[in-house]
Structure 1
Amino acid sequence: MKIGASPRISGRSYLDGQCLIAMPNMSDSRFSRSVIYVCAHSEDGAMGIIVNKPAADTRFPDLLVQLDVIPSDELIRLPSQAERMQVLRGGPVETKRGFVLHSSDFFLESATLPIDDGICLTATLDILRAIAIGSGPENAILALGYAGWAAGQLESEIQANGWLHCAADSELLFDDGVDTKYQRALGKIGIDQAYLSREAGHA
């Protein structure tokens, strides 16, 4: 689907800028225990980025070299933020494509999508170049791939108790505590993970 600002239709509630939390009974293993930031949601479908699944054996500095953003002999000059930049598995769609979810202190005309509450999405090499030289956004994560839903699909999955949702915040999206994001997301809506797991086991 095309990424763009989603319209607000009277009587409908869209989840742009919210986080989806996978229920323990999630049947799709690709989304097990996942927290997904919803970048776009409209009557045409939805698109989001998984924010708690690290991309195994993938380092941001190595990607910069592979993508010819910087030559390998300049890696030693990378700012500390670029050295620490998280690379995540953003979802099963277009897994070779990178999406940078970031704070709104960085904006590229015709390339950056403002989402909600100071959070933006940019999917061009220009933002990687900016991060590599220390002029990128204060907070950012790089996701490989994204999660996508056709028209009405996400709504159906929510009605079938596949997803909960909570408000997003910068810590939940950008901090290094990837392993605790699922638990913290549940905590934002007052749910204990152990209790939820027990409940999911009952018919």
Structure 2
Amino acid sequence: MKNVSPTYLKHQFLIAMPHMADPNFAQTLTYIVEHTANGAMGLVVNRPQELNLADILEQLRPEIDPPARCQSVPIYIGGPVQTDRGFVLHPTGPKFQATVDLEGVSLSTSQDVLFAIADGVGPEQSVITLGYAGWEAGQLEAELASNAWLTCPFDADILFNTASELRLEAAAAKLRVNLSLLTSQAGHA
């Protein structure tokens, strides 16, 4: 018998299917940071919230007025888990106190990356989120089997050079899929 290793989705996008009922994930594009037999972790990358980087910096270092440019740096809702915890996706390059390389993109979770961005010496491109999406062992696989998600290869251009409101459709277009034409019904041969 052939030993078949499972396929994991680390460093890919998840596209929420149009019938996704969970309000945390309806109409979302999620970047998968980690996926193993023990579960998965991802960051929703197309849901900006009311906060911007200036708001966050006022909390982290209230004695310093944030530069005006920080008001135009959006903060995204990364998912419903630990919504007070920050995550910064950025192109591979500078390292910060807590940076992990993920095949052409890096994830930093320390405050120094936020200060570097604010001070104009950090990554020029970034997606800053609060919170993350988490799946227990087998949960994401079950959701995929029930057609809750489409998977899409990672594309840095979608993440960093596409307006947030266009990222979901851009990822679907990469697969040549029109989300408005999809149905919740699935057939299995």
> Is TM > 0.5 for Structure 1 vs Structure 2?
yes
Residue matched to 1:184: 170
Residue pairs, 1:1-203, within 5 angstroms: 11-55=5-49, 57-68=50-61, 71-72=64-65, 75-76=66-67, 80=69, 82-108=70-96, 111-116=98-103, 118-175=104-161, 177-196=163-182, 199-200=183-184
Map Cα deviations across residues 111-163 of structure 1 (whole Å, 9 max, x no partner): 111112x1011111111111121111121111010000011111111011011
SS at the partner of 1:161? coil
SS at the partner of 1:14? coil
Instruction: Give the Å deviation of 1:69.
Output: 7.0
Instruction: Give the Å deviation of 1:176.
Output: 5.3
TM-score (norm 1): 0.84
Change (3 A) 1:202 1:167: closer
Equivalent-residue separation in structure 2 for 1:193 and 1:32 (angstroms) = 12
SS at the partner of 2:20? coil
Structure 1: unaligned runs, 5 residues or longer: 1-8
Equivalent-residue separation in structure 1 for 2:37 and 2:64 (angstroms) = 44
Moved more, 12-21 or 82-91: 82-91
Equivalent-residue separation in structure 1 for 2:86 and 2:149 (angstroms) = 25
Equivalent-residue separation in structure 1 for 2:17 and 2:26 (angstroms) = 8
TM-score (norm 2): 0.90
- 8 Å Cα contact 2:18/2:180 also seen in 1: no
Change (3 A) 1:20 1:138: same
- 8 Å Cα contact 1:40/1:115 also seen in 2: no
Equivalent-residue separation in structure 1 for 2:62 and 2:133 (angstroms) = 26
Structure number with the higher helix fraction is: 1
SS at the partner of 1:46? strand
Structure 2: unaligned runs, 5 residues or longer: none
Aligned length: 185
Cα RMSD (Å): 2.1
Which one-letter code corresponds to 2:136 in the other structure? A
Change (3 A) 1:169 1:84: farther
SS at the partner of 2:135? strand
Q: Which runs of 4+ in 1 moved over 6 A?
A: none
